[in-house]
Amino acid sequence: MKNPATFAEKLQTCPKWALYLLLITVTSLPLWVPLNVPNKPKQDAMDFYEAIWKIPEGKTVLIASDWTKSTRGESEGSFSALVRILMRRNLKFAVYSTGDPQAPEVARNVVAKVNRERRAAGEREYKRFEDWLSLPFFANSEGTTGGIGNNIRAILGNAKDAAEGQAPASVLNSPVLKDVQKVQDLGLLVNVTASKTADIIVERLYGKVPLAFMVTGVMVPETSNYYASGQIKGLVGGLKGVYDLEQLMQYGINWQGPDGKTMVKSDRNGEVPGFAVDKKFLIGNGTMYYPALHGAVTLLILAVVVGNIGMFLGRKGGK
Amino acid sequence: MIPFAQIRTDFWTDLPGSSSANLKIIVGLLVGIGVIFALLRMSTQFRRPLIVGSTFIAGLYYILLWLWPKPIDRDPGEVATNPVEGLGFWLEDANPAVSQVRNIIAAFLIGLGVYSLLRIHVGKIAKQQKDWGFSLVLLVSMFGMAGVGFADWASRQGPEGAKLDNQANWGAINYVQDFLFDGLLQQMDAAMFSLIAFYILSAAYRAFRARSVEATILLGTAMILMLSLLGGISYLSDQAIEKMGGTDPNAFINNFRLTELAGWIQNSVQVASIRGLQFGIGIGLLALALRLWLSLEKMGNA
Amino acid sequence: MDRYTLIKTGFGVLATIGLYSVLYKENKFYRFWEHVFLGLASGFTLLVLWTDTLNPNWYKPMMGAAAEGADPAKPAYWAYIFLLPLGLMGYFVFSNRHNWISRIPIGIMLGLFSAEQISVWFNRYGSQIGDSLRPIVPTTWDSLTKPATQGLTPERIAEVNSQVYLSQAITNIVYIVTLLSVVSYFLFSFEIKSKFMVRFTTVGRWLLMIGFGAIFGSTVMMRFSLLIDRMYFIWIEFLKQGVLGQ
Amino acid sequence: MGDQYRDTGWIGITLTLTILAFIYYNIRRASGGKDLFIRRISGLNALDEAVGRAAEMGRPVLMVPGLSGLTAQTMQALNIFTYVTRIAARFANPILLCCPDAAVYTVGQEIIRDVYQSEGLADRYDPDSVRFISDRQFAFAAGVSGLILREQAAATFFMGDFYAESLIFAETANGVGAIQVASSTEATQTPFFIAACDYVLIGDEFYAASAYLTRQPVLTGSLVGQDWSKLLVIFMLILGTILTTFEQRGMTDTEWKEGKWQTIEGGPRWKTFEDTTVSRWFNPSPEKIKIDRPKEEAPAAPAEAGQ
């Protein structure tokens, strides 16, 4: 419809650029003034948090980190939250990737960032090769994942990693993989992913090692299949999931905080302590982005509502 | 220690760098090329059987891996006690290698992709067609990225390579590579990805109209889900409903809290409907896979 | 932020704006960045094919490796060389007389792919079928919905969890009906005559739409968070921390 | 016996083989000249219309076979595109096939040329109409939307594995007023196609398409086989639901562990899904058998080359 005449038509033909401009505004402003939105963690996120917290002492966690900068908005939040919890629990972990050649580097940067946080907060830093391993990218997800299921040491055996200022050595000599002979020896396998690797891992590793996923919002519907059927222990989905997790790190589950208040209650989970009483330590991407998400989604809802109102008015006018 | 102490060689394996190994490689290459020439001369009636046969045999590996009795309780370094087990062992061991074959062949084909790009853009530049400048930009950045990237990769090989994880030890080439890849390529990936947000907005505004029953259902569900994502709204509405329910935590009305509702829709209807869809797709894929493996349908028939 | 990082980030912002400019209309600025993007991407593809596929999975195994430091020597599997001519066969696609040869490598790739699909089919769908089998008759009428289990004895909690309450039974019925109706909507080769089946499949389509709506709703979150992240990159990382140096 | 056949592990294999048997049997049946019914699939009748309109406008038809490499989904997409190309060829309509992968590009060239030759229009075939764009997801997206905008495509066909980029294509094509027929095997992308495109093939319809368009015995037969398989699944679902409904109630003092029945230490407990027959079908738990084999003297030589 050229040059909209009636009000009804105007409502239905708002120019695209105007919408786009609005969207940029509502997503930009909240970043300058971060605030804390009230929230209610989802069950799958709570199960995820509990799953990590219930890993036996001294077990190694294997992280399949299959995300890069293109999904930084969600995945970095998930990954750094995961690393924070693991470090808080003093669990050793190894990070590998079958999703993207860049994933290992991106992961390394995040670990470094969290280490800086810990230094600032006066906590012990995680030493490369001693406390955690940066494994390389393995092309061919199917083959590698299947191989990890059959003989993990054979697959990871070729990989090398170096402690700070040392020559690279086979990762099998690292304390991290010392007690890992079979995949069954792992405490948990967490897949932080923005790609199909989730399916591949369930297909080839389910039943051999407990699994937990951190996926991008778009993958939530498909992966909640696996959560529903109990193939994975817990699921952190998208920005909401990250925000949930960051809240749980703050308040725990069924746990009395230092202020004596129990913020998060759940009858499906046991008591899981929170940590990071100092709020500054916890401003993660989730907490940072969640308000802006409100702005954007509200705009979307308004746009749809307005469009429909326009349509109905138009119909009336037509009659 | 003697470097090759632990290597047992046979016809298929040889000492690295040994002249016999290199000889075998060269002979193998010549044989392969010979085969190609043989194919050029081969009479027509053998073509189809050859294609069908190679497809079938390639697939047969995975079928065997799947159906052949898997070794029970196998530990690394054990030897098979009988032929059946032997084949089972071999199938398991070959898996890492076989699972690479597809990628390797595909990698060799990339030359065709590059050929396609050159064909189009060199052509434009040669004929000075409209936008030939942009074609030039494309080719330059392509070979630039490849060249710089390779140099950077080479500099990271060997024991010294690990040092370059630390920016302090970077040389010029590493900086250029980082600029091209991390500074430009990855940023553009993210930028293109985030464009979708705009398109979602305009698409929803344009198309999400309650015109038909189906459209209305789609629209309504999407709305409920989106609202439940807004921690603020769902939190407040839940509070309100819990007030209605009074003190009793089991009050029936609590099932209509926004978060409950959204969760219920996702875990019952959505999971179920998508599973139904997936079963269909899965069976369709299975059928197609069977047809391709047995070459029951001609490539590209429709 | 050091100068290099600032310049790098600056160009990143420039490229982002360049690609965003297409939202207004297709223009030369966009076209420039688009071609830079395509060029870099293809260049990177070439690179990765060698560094991540051919070198580690083809060249090295073929050549083997002498023992070095902690890791043992690896024998040379010379037979890998056969893959090279196999790949080269693909290049016959442009020959008019011998293009059929290119179908051999293609056939092998498809054969491998198809057969693997067949062998993993049940792993993907089996447990989903299994999980779809849920009790649809309540085992107790104590309460309509599952009571909260706070402050109950473990035995009692176990009992509560094992019971099927009315609301759960209803949910399960909805679940199975959805599943069945959707699957039967995708039956193509039966002429559906009975009124009931027609209605049933229509319902199936509607329930499918609910599923799609839910997906749309939950996907929105990711798309927006990526945009928010871009805005964070432009405003905070570049402008605030970089230029203003806060 | 093999690991995968112990306990209830064989059920999965049997099911898969049964389905394969159904499909194969019906393909044979159809090839034997039995003609089989296929119901109408709305999206597909739009193909001709779309191409026809593109021909009137004299603007190109643009096709994208998804984002994956050379997979079955991609082959299916190309199968559908041969049909589209055939019509376009008759209308002497320019086409563009954008490939995300060199192998797909190879097959595309092969197939498209075939179409023109079989139509006796080899002179109209232009190798540049099949293009390799980029195998990096969003570079591909940028390149394709650039093409759509500059070539002003009149009809666009997006079929195969689509991920996030689906909406970029759909909205861009909508911007230049192209008719769009789309289908993604990724359930997560279908809603976006539904929102932005004119015609959408949902889920399985994508696989049914080539059978519907060509009515070739092999394809229709396979389609019937698939329907039998779906009926089998439906039957399993109904049977299983009834079974669980009756089994998952009351208490139990024995449980199925490691492939045999064992009495629960600490007395009877309430039944859960794990205690039902169907749960055992789908979650086999083979008992631990120890087999000691002689060890090799030297460390195990790694895998043999896959030749």
Distance CA C54, CA C45 (A): 12
Instruction: Average the pLDDT over each of B115-129, C170-184, D34-48 and give the range with the smallest value.
Output: D34-48
Query: Tell me: the pLDDT tens digits for C202-219?
Result: 999 999 999 999 888 878
Residue C151: pLDDT band with limits 50, 70, 90: low
Which residue's entry shows tokens 């007389």?
Answer: C97
Of A70, A154, A222, the CB nearest to D138: A70
Query: Tell me: the pLDDT tens digits for D140-160?
Result: 999 999 999 999 999 999 999
Contact C35 B18 (CB under 8 A): no
Q: Are C180 and D31 in contact (CB under 8 A)?
A: no
Angle, vertex CA B139, rays to CA B138 and CA B143, nearest 5: 120
pTM above 0.90, yes or no: no
- Chain A residues in contact with D188 by the CB 8 A cut-off are 218-219, 221-222
ipTM of this complex: 0.87
Contact B97 D303 (CB under 8 A): yes
| Neighbour order of strands in the sheet with A211-215 | A132-137, A92-97, A60-66, A188-193, A211-215, A235-237
- Chain C residues in contact with D227 by the CB 8 A cut-off are 187-190
Q: Flag whether pLDDT at A250 surpasses 90.
A: no
Q: What's the pLDDT score for residue D303?
A: 42
Nearest in space to C116 (alpha carbons), one of B97, D67, B293, B91: B293
Contact with chain B for residue C136, Cβ under 8 A: no
Q: What's the pLDDT score for residue C80?
A: 93
Ranges of H-type helices in A126-186: 141-157
Contact A222 D138 (CB under 8 A): no
- Provide the percentage of residues in chain A whose pLDDT is more than 90: 41
Which residue's entry shows tokens 């370059």?
Answer: B164
Contact with chain A for residue B223, Cβ under 8 A: yes
Contact with chain D for residue B80, Cβ under 8 A: yes
Nearest in space to A81 (alpha carbons), one of A43, A111, A41: A111
- Chain D residues in contact with A70 by the CB 8 A cut-off are 137-138
What's the mean pLDDT in B230-236?
78
Residue B4: pLDDT band with limits 50, 70, 90: low
Question: What pairs with residue D160 in β-bridges?
Answer: D184
* Mean pLDDT for all residues in chain A: 86
Residue B302: pLDDT band with limits 50, 70, 90: very low
Q: Which residue of C has its CA nearest to D235?
A: C180
Distance CA D184, CA D193 (A): 8
C176, C177, C179, C183 alpha-carbon torsion, rounded to 10°: 140
- Those residues with Cβ within 8 angstroms of residue B104's Cβ, 6 or more apart along the chain or in another chain: C53, C54, C57, C58, C83, C87
Contact with chain A for residue C163, Cβ under 8 A: no
- Chain A residues in contact with B232 by the CB 8 A cut-off are 37-38, 294
Nearest in space to C40 (alpha carbons), one of B181, A164, B11: B181
Q: What's the pLDDT score for residue D299?
A: 47
Distance CA D219, CA B209 (A): 37
Contact with chain A for residue B12, Cβ under 8 A: no
CA distances from A218 to B87, C216, C227, D145 (A): 42, 9, 14, 22
Which residue's entry shows tokens 């391709």?
Answer: B292
- Written as six digits, the tokens of B264 are 């219920």
Angle, vertex CA B106, rays to CA B105 and CA B109, nearest 5: 95
Contact with chain C for residue B230, Cβ under 8 A: no
Query: Tell me: the pLDDT tens digits for D171-226?
Result: 999 999 999 999 998 888 999 999 999 999 998 999 999 899 988 899 999 999 99
Contact with chain B for residue D48, Cβ under 8 A: no
Residue C214, Ramachandran bin (φ over 0: left; ψ between -120 and 50: alpha; else beta): alpha
Contact A297 C220 (CB under 8 A): yes
Higher pLDDT, A99 or B290: B290
Distance CA D267, CA C121 (A): 39
Contact with chain A for residue B263, Cβ under 8 A: yes
Q: Flag whether pLDDT at D305 surpasses 90.
A: no
Chain A nearest C-alpha distance from D131 (Å): 24
**DSSP conformation letters of D46-105:** HHHHHHHHHHHHT--EEEE--SSSS-HHHHHHHHHHHHHHHHHHHTT--EEEEESSHHHH
Most confident of B21-35, B248-262, C128-142: B21-35
Instruction: Average the pLDDT over each of A205-209, A248-252, A278-282, B233-237 and give the range with the smallest value.
Output: A278-282
Phi and psi at D263, nearest 5°, equal -75, 140
CA distances from C172 to A212, A226, C133, C135, C141 (A): 25, 17, 9, 7, 16
Q: What's the pLDDT score for residue D302?
A: 44
Contact with chain A for residue C120, Cβ under 8 A: yes
Instruction: Average the pLDDT over each of A309-313, B255-259, C50-54, C77-81 and give the range with the smallest value.
Output: B255-259
Of C109, C114, C162, the CB nearest to D272: C162
Query: Tell me: the pLDDT tens digits for B136-170?
Result: 999 999 999 999 999 999 998 876 776 777 778 88
Distance CA B256, CA B245 (A): 10
Phi and psi at A132, nearest 5°, equal -150, 155
What is the CA B219 to chain-centroid distance, rounded? 33
